[in-house]
Structure 1
Amino acid sequence: MNRLMKMLLLLGIAALSGCISPPPKSNDPYYAPVMPRTPLPVELNNGSIYQAGFETNFFTDRKAYRVGDIITISLNERTQASKSAGSQIGKDSDASMGLTSLLGSAVSVANPFSKTPLSLGAEYSATRNAQGDSAADQSNSLTGSITVTVAEVLPNGILAVRGEKWITLNTGNELVRIAGLVRADDISTDNTVPSNRIADARITYSGTGAFADASQPGWLNRFFISPLWPF
């Protein structure tokens, strides 16, 4: 293998390595559980035992509404998309021209390679055709549940939640991460909310290990299906 082939191979491997997403890492600080902010009791001089921020209402549901509270999200995501396109272009052209006489006399040009004179006429024809078809069909489904914590309470009462769940199996690790915004009105009495009620949702389902590696194409296959392959 000459030097040029080695350089092309190294460049191809380097380009493909940039297309491979790195495996997810655990203990991401962004998805770490958020501890509740313990309010400092205000010094009271009226002798009352009631303190703001520590009250409990016996006639309301125990739903998450403060930073650090726990809420369960029911995952019920289904997406399906299909797309097809086709194009066909064709063009035919013909042209002919000739000069058979000039000022009433026949016109010809001597042929140095033959006794037959050359004609001043010219003809050409061209045909071009281009056809392309493409189709894509994708369907995804994700069901389950994940329990997260309230990371922030916005001024309008919207709860910013996020969290992750790792499941260790005999063939690797399975990861579910979610982050988004939840209305307090969408939280049910059992402190759960469906995932389709989360605004600006960021849901990640991934994994590491032999099972996750087996579902990925090899680096040579990625080269043939990448834009680097010119054919």
Structure 2
Amino acid sequence: MRPLLVALAALAPLCACTTVKEAVQGPDLTPVRYPAVLVPQQQDVMHLASAREPAPQPASANSLWRSGARAFFNDQRANRVGDILTVQIEIDDSAKTTNATSSSRTANTHAGVENFFGLESSLGRVFPGGFDPANAINTGSTTSNAGAGSVNRAEKINLTIAAVVTAVLPNGNMMIQGTQEVRTNYDVRQLAVSGIVRPEDISSANTIRHTQIAEARISYGGRGDISRVQKTPAGQSLVERFTPF
């Protein structure tokens, strides 16, 4: 055990802090950003302070209309910073892959020096006793390799969460973000979703499916007594990640 600890201590300076953090706290999601392949430069967005309209004023006497209020028959789908829409997460994915490889090779080499400018009999004086010019070189080798691997996983999540429009891109697409926490006894289950949506993909009921969210980041986990017991201890996780054996 002591040599293993010494090896880990020698490798510690070479390990990035983010890798240690991932081993202890788990992997983080990549920040949501507009694909750089489409738009390399930074996007200008409309933030909450400049995008929100003035608050509706009280209705005047003998009128049901309030200045600044939305019209009765206008589209009520989310389209501005601060608006709320419902995200339906229905993940039912499965993947199964099986592969196997094998290779083998056999090689034999035979070489003799029966005639070498009449000096073949003199070669025995240079080489050890028992030298046979007809069988000067005779080699053989055999190699083989076999490998097999398989992947069989299934994921199923069926959740609904409300998200808030946090920014509006110049082309009309919207960045959304939403979190939800549920506490049961001493354990908290947390759901988070973020990404970029098109106004055209939002249904008339102001809902959108997770498959229609670009740069989607969906996280479902928890913290508390149950999650702590299920999690691999930090020390064991570090040893398994950095051990060279």
* 8 A contact 2:8–2:242 mirrored in 1: no
- TM-score for the superposition, normalised by structure 1: 0.70
Measure how far apart 1:146 and its partner are. 0.7
**Higher deviation after alignment, 100-109 or 58-67:** 100-109
Matching of residue 97 in structure 1 with residue 111 in structure 2: yes
> If the length of structure 2 is used for normalisation, what is the TM-score?
0.66
The offset of 1:176, in angstroms, is 1.0
- Give the alignment of 1:140-155 within 5 angstroms: 140-155=155-170
Name the structure with the higher helix share: 2
Distance 1:105 1:173 in 2: 89
Aligned residue identity for 1:59: F
Gaps of 5+ in 2: 29-47, 57-64
RMSD: 3.8
The one-character-per-residue Cα deviations of 1:160-199 (angstroms, maximum 9, x if unpaired) are: 2111111222352211111122223332333222222222
Q: Tell me the residue number matched to 1:168.
A: 183
Counterpart secondary structure, 1:39? coil
Query: What is aligned with 1:178?
Result: 193
The answer to whether the Cα contact below 8 Å between 2:20 and 2:238 also exists between their aligned partners in 1 is: no
- Alignment partner, residue 23 of structure 2: 20
Determine if the alignment matches structure 1 residue 125 to structure 2 residue 124.
Answer: no
Which amino acid letter does the alignment assign opposite residue 197 of structure 1? Q
Q: Determine which structure has more spread, i.e. the larger CA radius of gyration.
A: 1
Specify the code of the residue in structure 2 equivalent to 1:78: D
Deviations 1:199-218 (A, max 9, x none): 22111112222332344344
Unaligned runs of 5+ in 1: 26-33, 42-49
Identity of aligned residues (%): 22
In terms of fraction of residues, the more strand-rich structure is: 1
CA gap of 1:103–1:215, structure 2 versus 1, over 3 A, is same
The 1:145–1:123 alpha-carbon spacing in structure 2 relative to 1, beyond 3 Å, is same
Aligned to 1:29: none
